[in-house]
């Protein structure tokens, strides 16, 4: 473990195996993401949710569903719903008028997936980047299948790919390809760079999805600040926002007596987690960040789906959405 940690950012790890031999717990491929289509059946992102789904509030669904489009104003006719009367137009014209509305044919969904180097970590089963990618693919397949438009934002340390929501298989394939490409760039010998901030990504989300979208953000929410919170609160007011908090058990249960080697690619430092004070500070830092994101559920009314790298992705997604094992 110590040797691995020391070499993560120094470029001294052994060469990666050829693509055909890559471990799917470490890296995803486009073929793997496409293979999840059949397993996405049974999931739903519509307002009617199973009773035990985390997308259910105390009394109603957290998902508002499709909106209404204004069609026309016309004279009131016997039998019209009086709740549809436009009282301002009625007062101005002296005759009762009603507003005719039709339900939107579909609802756009935007899936935001973090593939930065902070996600390239896992101590049990998957890398966080793999768990996020698999959850994103499952959601994308199901949203398109239920007749809604689907698109996404995939971001790494240096690149952002934007796919506008469309109700086409081509748009879904572009999203999956962008996800596989971003995941393929994650490697232990990657040079140290200043990663794209989550705040910058959320600004792009607000531009693409100003209102009435389903927005799913899958990330470890590394370096979330006050501006991040403000953007999350704004998106939640105007959209259906779901946060997938991807974490690893290592951060929540830091082993005692462990010595960690950390590096930025140029300099290295050893952290002695065997020291009780250091261990406590590291644990508090990790648990505090998780608690802050979970607290958004209470403060902003945003459902948070805690996803762990210690378990296969599909079973825990089904459990969080109130479904039994397949």
Query: In percent, how much of the chain has pLDDT > 70?
Result: 75
Average pLDDT over residues 299-310: 93
Tell me what pLDDT residue 78 has.
86
Cβ neighbours for 159, distance < 8 A, ≥ 6 positions apart: 182, 185, 196
Confidence of residue 26 (pLDDT cuts 50, 70, 90): very high
Confidence of residue 104 (pLDDT cuts 50, 70, 90): low
CB 236 within 8 A of CB 303: no
Tell me what pLDDT residue 3 has.
46
By the 10 Å C-beta count (0-12 exposed, 13-18 middle, 19+ buried), 263 is classed as middle
Say yes or no to pLDDT of 261 above 70: no
Tell me what pLDDT residue 317 has.
95
CATH label, 2-61+106-320, candidates 2.10.60.10, 3.40.50.720, 3.40.50.410, 3.10.20.90: 3.40.50.410
Tell me what pLDDT residue 13 has.
42
Q: How many Å is the Cα radius of gyration of the chain?
A: 23
Tell me what pLDDT residue 229 has.
94
Three-class SS of 201-254: HHHHHHHHCCCCCEEEEEECCCCCCHHHHHHHHHHHHHCEEEEEEEECHHHHCC
Tell me what pLDDT residue 59 has.
41
Q: Which of 121, 264, 114, 268 is nearest to 193 (CA)?
A: 264
CB 141 within 8 A of CB 40: yes
Phi and psi at residue 282, to the nearest 5°: -65, -45
pLDDT, one tens digit per residue, over 31-81 is 999 999 999 988 888 777 777 787 876 444 555 655 555 667 889 888 888
pLDDT, one tens digit per residue, over 165-196 is 999 999 999 999 999 999 999 988 888 888 99
Q: What is the pTM of this model?
A: 0.77
Q: What is the DSSP letter of 8?
A: T
- Per the prediction, the chain carries an average pLDDT of 82
**C-alpha span between 276 and 263 (Å, rounded):** 22
Say yes or no to pLDDT of 14 above 60: no
CB 61 within 8 A of CB 47: yes
Tell me what pLDDT residue 67 has.
56
The SS3 of residue 296 is helix
Say yes or no to pLDDT of 315 above 90: yes
HSE at residue 143, side-chain half, CA atoms within 13 A, is 31
Q: Where are the domains of the chain?
A: 2-61+106-320, 68-103
Show the tokens assigned to 107: 């609802």
Task: Using DSSP bridges, classify how beta strands 160-166 and 97-103 pair: parallel, antiparallel or unpaired.
Answer: unpaired
Tell me what pLDDT residue 244 has.
96
**C-alpha span between 132 and 112 (Å, rounded):** 10
Task: Using DSSP bridges, classify how beta strands 268-272 and 259-263 pair: parallel, antiparallel or unpaired.
Answer: antiparallel
Q: Which of 272, 271, 273 is nearest to 263 (CA)?
A: 271
CB 190 within 8 A of CB 216: no
């Amino acid at each position: 473990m110590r040797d691995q940690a020391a070499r993560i950012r120094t470029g001294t790890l052994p060469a990666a195996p050829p693509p055909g031999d890559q471990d799917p717990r470490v890296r995803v491929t486009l073929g793997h993401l496409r293979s999840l289509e059949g397993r996405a059946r049974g999931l739903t992102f519509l307002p009617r949710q199973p009773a035990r789904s985390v997308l259910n509030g105390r009394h109603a669904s957290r998902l508002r569903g499709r909106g209404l489009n204004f069609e026309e104003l016309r004279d009131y006719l016997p039998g019209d719903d009086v709740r549809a009367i436009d009282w301002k137009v009625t007062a101005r014209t002296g005759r009762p008028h009603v507003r005719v509305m039709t339900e939107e044919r579909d609802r756009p969904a935007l899936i935001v997936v973090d593939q930065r180097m902070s996600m390239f970590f896992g101590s049990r089963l998957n890398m966080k980047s793999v768990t996020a990618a698999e959850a994103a693919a499952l959601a994308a397949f199901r949203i398109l299948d239920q007749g809604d438009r689907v698109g996404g934002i995939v971001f790494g340390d240096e690149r952002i790919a934007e796919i506008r929501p469309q109700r086409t298989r081509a748009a879904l394939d572009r999203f999956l390809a962008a996800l596989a490409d971003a995941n393929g760039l994650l490697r232990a010998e990657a040079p140290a760079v200043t990663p794209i901030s989550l705040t910058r990504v959320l600004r792009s989300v607000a531009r693409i999805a100003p209102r009435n979208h389903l927005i799913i953000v899958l990330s470890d929410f590394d370096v979330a600040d006050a501006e991040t919170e403000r953007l999350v609160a704004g998106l939640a007011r105007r959209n259906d926002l779901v946060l997938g908090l991807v974490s690893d058990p290592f951060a929540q249960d830091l082993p005692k007596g462990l010595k960690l080697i950390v590096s930025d690619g140029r300099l290295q430092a050893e952290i002695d987690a065997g020291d009780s004070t250091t261990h406590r500070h590291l644990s508090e830092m990790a648990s505090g960040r998780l608690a802050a994101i979970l607290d958004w559920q209470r403060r902003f009314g945003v459902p948070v789906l805690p996803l762990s790298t210690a378990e296969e992705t599909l079973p825990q997604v089904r459990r969080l959405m109130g479904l039994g094992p397949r």
